[in-house]
Amino acid sequence: MEKEGVKLVGFWVSPFAQRVKWALKMKGVEYEYIEEDVWNKSALLLELNPVYKKVPVLVHNGKVLAESRIILEYIDETWKNAPLLMPQDPYERAMARFWADFSEKKVLEAGFEALCTRGERQEKAVSSTIEALEKLEQVLKGKKFLGGDSVGYLDLVVGWLAYMMPIWEELASMKILDSSKFPALDEWINNFLSHPGIKDDLPTEEKMKGYFYHLSRKVAPLFYGGEI
Amino acid sequence: MEKEGVKLVGFWVSPFAQRVKWALKMKGVEYEYIEEDVWNKSALLLELNPVYKKVPVLVHNGKVLAESRIILEYIDETWKNAPLLMPQDPYERAMARFWADFSEKKVLEAGFEALCTRGERQEKAVSSTIEALEKLEQVLKGKKFLGGDSVGYLDLVVGWLAYMMPIWEELASMKILDSSKFPALDEWINNFLSHPGIKDDLPTEEKMKGYFYHLSRKVAPLFYGGEI
């Protein structure tokens, strides 16, 4: 692999790779995109990320970075031009890290469980997702973006919610993003998806539907012991 | 609670609270320490950290912070005097965050499982811990501290290993920190524990032994389905 330049190893539907694509685009960083087959991992991925064997991996002038939230901070600290992704105040920055981690542990994980389960197990996962979103609703209240007036780190981390959750809701016949319960999040979804560059490079709804239809049916018996 | 000053809510044996104590001491920050009973959580803790209900919580001039690694970065960004805890280079900083997260997920969790299990389950957990430590051994090679020449963020995050793992090894009759396997880590443990301020405020071996003896017996049937 060449030592110069920026390369991103991703997977078309990975929300973790997507946030890195957004960040590079917002910063105006040119890069080579390398599509990985996560179901049949390449020697390159195993070499670049031997610890977790996961996308995304960013390679910058030969330096290799894994873990999407760590990559986002690296991008912001390396390409210091606007827009700044992290808040400049240390407390605001700590809060962005706190809620980013929370959204991963409490919204993404529970939401994915709700996609891949049915019955009581699903009801519980839907409730957990909604409970977690109530906290994000409070964080968002009175702001246009989670980053304040403009899209920032936390918006990019939570961004999957805006375009992926509606697909999950439809596939699993569940309601999570209820606009009467979450007016601020509802507005944020519109604001976020209308932001320049955010919608440009997203996978199509149809392709995502097909992927998650099969993934949820594949994962259900393995992880949750039941068929869906 | 008063709005001025710095307060830390901790629990005497929590490795997560310990790393915050170390950071505040290294930065020379005066603070009020509030001991929490994590087995009978106070109204104060539930109010300060309603999301996770866990120690440590740092309160700085009325601003509330949870999650120890986030608190460490906040401390470093707020009290900018030496010693700097985070590396200054963005790539080194990303690596510190990566290995800190890794040590939590792969060393601390597996090590605790090894403490609380026996038989095959324990053997597996011991192997996982050793495998993860082999990676940290590589990170450390040729350096005095994980932070380079001086104690930094990653040392504080991994610091529990130096004084707590030997107790776990004794209680669970297992060998993990084998100095022939981990010469760099072995030297690091000595360097770290000899560093000014690190050993000052640690719980005594006897008190830790009593605590983890009872904790491991309490946790084993709940989490691992077997008595030890």
A125-135 pLDDT, tens digit per residue, is 999 999 999 99
> Would the pLDDT of A1 be above 70?
no
Average pLDDT (A152-162) is 98
Average pLDDT (A96-106) is 98
Structural domain includes residue A83: no
Closest approach of B2 to chain A, Cα-based (Å): 18
Nearest CA in chain A to B60: A91
Structural domain includes residue B171: yes
Average pLDDT (A81-103) is 98
Place of tokens 């038989």: B119
% of chain B exceeding 90 in pLDDT: 93
> Would the pLDDT of B1 be above 70?
no
Residue B228 confidence (pLDDT): 86
- B201 pLDDT tier (thresholds 50, 70, 90): confident
Place of tokens 């020697």: A43
Residue range(s) defining the domain that contains residue B37: 6-78
Q: Which of A78, A101, A131 is the last residue of a domain?
A: A78
Residues B157 and B179 in one domain: yes
Q: Which of chain A's residues have a Cβ under 8 Å away from the Cβ of B62?
A: none
Residues A53 and A104 in one domain: no
Structural domain includes residue A1: no
**What's the pLDDT tens digit per position in A113-151?**
999 999 999 999 999 999 999 999 999 999 999 999 999
Q: Which of chain A's residues have a Cβ under 8 Å away from the Cβ of B128?
A: none
CA distance B164 to B159: 9
**Given the DSSP bridges, would you call strands B6-10 and A63-66 parallel, antiparallel or unpaired?**
unpaired
**Burial of B98 by CB count in 10 Å (0-12 exposed, 13-18 middle, 19+ buried)?**
buried
Instruction: Supply the CATH number for residue B42's domain.
Output: 3.40.30.10
Q: Which of A14, A48, A78 is the last residue of a domain?
A: A78
Q: Which B residues 27-56 touch A at CB under 8 Å?
A: 51
Q: Indicate the average pLDDT of chain B.
A: 96
- A107 pLDDT tier (thresholds 50, 70, 90): very high
End-to-end CA distance of chain B, in Å? 43
Residue A146 confidence (pLDDT): 97
Out of A73, A78, A135, closest to residue B51 by CB: A135
A216-224, long-range: CB within 8 Å, 24+ apart, which pairs?
A216/A115, A216/A116, A216/A171, A216/A172, A219/A116, A220/A116, A220/A117, A223/A116, A224/A113, A224/A116, A224/A117, A224/A121
Average pLDDT (B40-59) is 97
B94 interfaces chain A, CB cutoff of 8 Å:
yes
Q: Which of chain B's residues have a Cβ under 8 Å away from the Cβ of A70?
A: 94, 97-98, 101
A73 interfaces chain B, CB cutoff of 8 Å:
yes
Q: Which amino acid is at A134?
A: E
CA B94 to chain centre: 19
B47-51, long-range: CB within 8 Å, 24+ apart, which pairs?
B48/B9, B51/A102, B51/A135
Q: Indicate the average pLDDT of chain A.
A: 96
Closest approach of B124 to chain A, Cα-based (Å): 18
B78 interfaces chain A, CB cutoff of 8 Å:
yes
Structural domain includes residue B143: yes
**What's the pLDDT tens digit per position in A207-227?**
999 999 999 999 998 878 888
Residues A128 and A194 in one domain: yes
Instruction: Supply the CATH number for residue A133's domain.
Output: 1.20.1050.10
